[in-house]
Structure 1
Amino acid sequence: MGLKTVKLFSLLAASSLSGCYSVGPDFVPPTPGLPAVSFFGKPTPAVPPNPPFLPAAPDPHWWATFRDPALTRLEEEAVATNLDLQTATVKLAESRFQRGVTASAAFPTLNGNATYTRELLSQNGIVSLGKALTNGQPFVVPPISIYQPTFDAAWEVDIWGHVRRQIEAGDAQIHLSEDQRRDVLVSLLAEVARDYIELRGVQEQIAIANDNLKSATEIMELTRARVEKGLVTGLDVENAAAEVESIKAQIPQLHTQETVQMNALALLLDEPPGSLEGKLARAKPIPPAPARVPLGIPSELARRRPDIRQAEAQLHAATADIGVAVAEFYPSVKLNGSVGFNSLDLKNLWKGSSLQYTFGPSISLPIFEGGRLRSTLELREAQQQEAAIAYQKAVLQAWHDVVNALVSFRNEQKRREALKAQIGHSAQALTLSRARYVDGVTEFITVLNAEQTLFAAKQQYAQSATNVSTDLVQLYKALGGGWETTLPTEPLPSIVSELGPE
């Protein structure tokens, strides 16, 4: 088969991709059904001055709102080095390669073969029949050489869109892999921010515990001085000493949490345990949440959330698979051809008289498959229904995630303010109780209770401040923020080069 025939096959393949009918349903993007104005499913009431939530779309680099350079550096390093993200990137490359394998079925296949055979026929075999032509004399056939180069081509005409639907499903799988990678990226960015904020929160609690230890030690020394003066009994000293030891017992546990958080960040950055101590051991304030947070329009959530986009891509692929199953019911038409040269003498091999070829179409019609085709179609239709339900659940889950994050963020802010006020009152109560204890007006138990209340309030406030910031991180994650059009490039070539030749 010559070059002209190959070109003809390619033109027919291209025309089949554009002009033939594709059986099965065409994919129509589903409607998410999210509210258009408020995530709470009702019109927004009168907007107060400086509302905490803004209609503007969230910034893809939302972690910059915390104004913490260390956090920003960690986010950048995580995107460049995280192993889960690299795995998702390789899986995306795999889906693209798989799509290429599928798309190859739309074009002709051309194979070249060349054979050389040296053959000697048996004198007692079919050659012996030649004795009748030579009056019983031996009929001798010398050894012969057969030279035969050939080119074989075949192409299935995609009349019903069997291959085109497979390519469509392959494209949907690529989009699915892209959104899976985006989902990994969104989760990674949120996890880095959460671990970093919790690390700073633990360090804040360590500082508070050390301050509390200092204050409790001063109170213990005060009670000892009063015992030496005979003003109180040793019971006050023991109670004060017990409080000191109670605070000391909290500090090692907090240091353990600090190490765990550092190592969690190191794992996200593909670093060994303890590698971030030099960068993060020095305590810094908890990154504060901004006063106003952009949320965007609820109806746009489906375009931002990678999991919703994954569900839509899965539904698209399932719909295309129905078309593939429907096309199996129709006859398949193939064009087959073979061209080559055959000669017993090498010097005559490339002469026109040595040319031989075959060409012709073939048709295959399924008549009886034992119910395989019908069952396959019903299976694909059921899988499409499953994908549609999964899409609906993904949208509903996203809506719940955003509302829960909004409520948690807003209520934790109220709790933080109440704890801040409690600290002020508890500090004043401790000051007054100490003064009255020194004056001998009240018992030490009053001082001890006031001390414990203040210490607990400070720890709770630090935890609440941490929760406010981590709740904001969760809100940004629920909104699907934290990725852009440009993502890390596929590291496949470097990985293959590291593996080396087989």
Structure 2
Amino acid sequence: MVVMTRRVPSASCATGSSLRHLLAAVAALAIAGCAVGPDFHKPAAPGAGSLSAGSPPTTTGVANIAGGQAQQFVSGGDIPADWWTLFHSPALNALIEQSLAHNPDLKAAQAALAVARESTEAGRGAYYPSVTAGVSASREQDPPGALAPVPSNNAFLYNLFTPQVSVSYVPDVFGRNRRTVESLMAQQQAVRFQMIAARITLSSNVVAAAVQQASLRAQIEATRELVGINTSMVDILKYRLDKGYAGRLDLAAQEAQLAQVKAALPPLLTQLAQQDHLLAVLAGRFPGEALTENFDLASLHLPQQLPVSLPSALVAQRPDVRQAEANMHAASAQVGVAIANRLPNISLTANAGSTALAIHQLFKSGTGFWSLGADLAAPIFQGGSLRHQERAARATYVEASEQYRSTVLTAFQNVADTLAALQHDAEGLQAAATAADAAKLTLDLSQRQYKDGYAGYLSLLSAEQGYQQARIALVQAQASRYTDTAALFHALGGGWWHDADNEPAGAAPAPLSASDHARTNRDSDEK
């Protein structure tokens, strides 16, 4: 509503009456106004009955090794916000807390949320009148040949002081401002869920990097052990060659095997250094800053209760799905904005002030002035731009809805892939553990038989190669189980709804009437 900040003494009763009529008209327009454009309705939950193609898994296999514990899938189970604590690693917990506090990408996402929040609050300003106050002072001289001087005292040289208040208001008759704010609120929600997704992805990446670091350390340890074994075999063959019990071909083959094992070590060391650098950067530190956390697969506890969300709950838990839904909402509101731009626009203005030749005369009787005005403007011809802008807004909504569907399908795929991986990880770890035990026994027997002269060198060389491959495969199978377990918590939404640091989503913009929805679904002609 229009509010005059000062009553001018010279204003008559008619002025007050005019203001009351104007205010009544504005109130009537505000109450009777509607918001054009389609009302947004939350997409229906997917009708899929299961997250995977086959029957959902219940438990995984067991292996007598670190990371080989059985895991049970709990249908409809909830996810804690700090799900990484289920690995029972104080070092991992501390590193993730550092990352959440200092990671620059997460801080940038939080700043983007602050920008979106302030933009929404700025958009709400269109609901209210715009009030400006100003004071002008000038010294003027009329030419001597003028027919009459401007002031009533017939002075040709005078000062002029004019303070005034101006009020302007654009009634939201067709809901353009409401649809604009609705779109801004939806965009704010999209940015919020983008920030939540960044937080979950960061914690998941830290867990994966820590597991990979532990895996590389174990692989390096296994490789160095193999270097020691092959070095010992080279020494034995050299001794046997000197005594005439071995040929030069056997020694050359063993030296080649030792060189191959040594060649596998530098790439592993490079990968380990890269993981150390990655962990430092994720925690907001420079790569050169030494990390105190050295992870070991044996120190990580494998979570044994794994939640499996219902399909209808997954779309509410995944922040990327919620972000895509918010983008749909913003696009829907923009259709209403585009339609409102094609309709008439009403603006109301009011001015009041005082003008005098001296400051001490301001606001005295006879110096006041006021004005009221109302404008009605409607687009007549814009070269078709407004019509095409509306069509573009509708196409943008279709694009957002298809992107939402794609995001939902990708979310289901992520969960299904992870469940399948966890089921097969347990089977793979069992097989890798059995193969590693068999390869170690074969190597021990081959070394003993070769030393006693009961086995040939080729069988020993084959046993060494088999043991090397089995050790590396076992470590990789262990790491895959930890990594895929973390990936499941990530794919299910990471429990962000239990995180007190995440601000409430807030009430969604209220849907408009069905009559408005029906009215604005028609394609109106350009005015």
Say whether 1:466 aligns with 2:466: no
Say whether 1:326 aligns with 2:329: no
* Partners of 2:490 and 2:166 in 1: CA distance: 56
Letter in 1 for 2:110: T
Deviation for aligned residue 1:113:
1.0
The answer for the alignment partner of 1:21 in structure 2 is: 34
Letter in 1 for 2:427: K
Contact kept in structure 2, 1:9 and 1:155, CA below 8 Å: no
* Partners of 2:398 and 2:240 in 1: CA distance: 79
* Partners of 1:97 and 1:417 in 2: CA distance: 55
Deviation for aligned residue 1:426:
1.2
The answer for the alignment partner of 2:78 in structure 1 is: 57
* Partners of 1:438 and 1:47 in 2: CA distance: 46
Deviation for aligned residue 1:58:
2.5
Deviation for aligned residue 1:243:
2.3
Contact kept in structure 1, 2:415 and 2:488, CA below 8 Å: yes
Contact kept in structure 2, 1:262 and 1:280, CA below 8 Å: no
The answer for the alignment partner of 1:272 in structure 2 is: 286
Contact kept in structure 1, 2:165 and 2:353, CA below 8 Å: yes
Aligned positions of 1:251-270 closer than 5 A? 251-270=265-284
Name the structure, 1 or 2, with higher relative contact order (CA <8 Å, separation 6+): 2
Q: Residue by residue, what CA displacement relative to the aligned partner does 1:146-191 show, whole Å, maximum 9, x if unpaired?
A: 1110100000011111101111111101101100101111111111
Deviation for aligned residue 1:14:
8.8
- Greater displacement, 279-288 / 468-477: 279-288
Contact kept in structure 1, 2:214 and 2:294, CA below 8 Å: no
* Partners of 1:8 and 1:51 in 2: CA distance: 74
Contact kept in structure 1, 2:162 and 2:353, CA below 8 Å: yes
Aligned with residue 119 of structure 2, among 79, 98, 111: 98
* Partners of 2:376 and 2:321 in 1: CA distance: 43
Letter in 2 for 1:476: F
Say whether 1:392 aligns with 2:395: no
The answer for the alignment partner of 2:87 in structure 1 is: 66
Say whether 1:40 aligns with 2:43: no
CA separation of 1:339 and 1:267: change in aligned 2, threshold 3 A: same
Say whether 1:113 aligns with 2:134: yes
Per the normalisation by structure 2, the TM-score is: 0.84
Letter in 2 for 1:39: L
Letter in 1 for 2:52: F
SS of match in other structure, 1:351:
coil
Deviation for aligned residue 1:207:
1.0
SS of match in other structure, 2:425:
helix
* Partners of 1:66 and 1:417 in 2: CA distance: 20
Letter in 1 for 2:80: D
CA separation of 1:467 and 1:329: change in aligned 2, threshold 3 A: same
The answer for the alignment partner of 1:131 in structure 2 is: none
SS of match in other structure, 2:111:
helix
The alignment covers a number of residue pairs equal to 478
Contact kept in structure 1, 2:133 and 2:164, CA below 8 Å: yes
Aligned positions of 1:317-466 closer than 5 A? 317-466=330-479
Contact kept in structure 2, 1:66 and 1:290, CA below 8 Å: yes
Deviation for aligned residue 1:485:
4.0
* Partners of 2:139 and 2:175 in 1: CA distance: 47
CA separation of 1:424 and 1:9: change in aligned 2, threshold 3 A: farther
Say whether 1:162 aligns with 2:176: yes
- Greater displacement, 445-454 / 265-274: 265-274
Letter in 1 for 2:93: T
Q: Which runs of 5+ in 1 are unaligned?
A: 129-138, 490-502
* Partners of 2:141 and 2:309 in 1: CA distance: 84
Aligned with residue 108 of structure 2, among 87, 97, 102: 87
Contact kept in structure 1, 2:58 and 2:74, CA below 8 Å: no
CA separation of 1:469 and 1:12: change in aligned 2, threshold 3 A: farther
* Partners of 1:288 and 1:116 in 2: CA distance: 79
* Partners of 2:373 and 2:420 in 1: CA distance: 71
- Greater displacement, 45-54 / 92-101: 45-54
Aligned with residue 240 of structure 2, among 221, 226, 232: 226
Contact kept in structure 1, 2:124 and 2:181, CA below 8 Å: yes
Contact kept in structure 1, 2:210 and 2:295, CA below 8 Å: no
The answer for the alignment partner of 1:2 in structure 2 is: 5
Q: Residue by residue, what CA displacement relative to the aligned partner does 1:465-490 show, whole Å, maximum 9, x if unpaired?
A: 1122112222222212153443379x
Aligned positions of 1:183-262 closer than 5 A? 183-262=197-276
Letter in 2 for 1:115: S
Letter in 2 for 1:105: A
Contact kept in structure 1, 2:144 and 2:156, CA below 8 Å: no
Per the normalisation by structure 1, the TM-score is: 0.88
Letter in 1 for 2:318: R
SS of match in other structure, 2:170:
strand
Contact kept in structure 2, 1:115 and 1:149, CA below 8 Å: yes
Q: Residue by residue, what CA displacement relative to the aligned partner does 1:128-160 show, whole Å, maximum 9, x if unpaired?
A: 9xxxxxxxxxx9843011111010000001111
Say whether 1:481 aligns with 2:484: no
SS of match in other structure, 1:352:
coil
CA separation of 1:427 and 1:2: change in aligned 2, threshold 3 A: closer
SS of match in other structure, 1:152:
strand
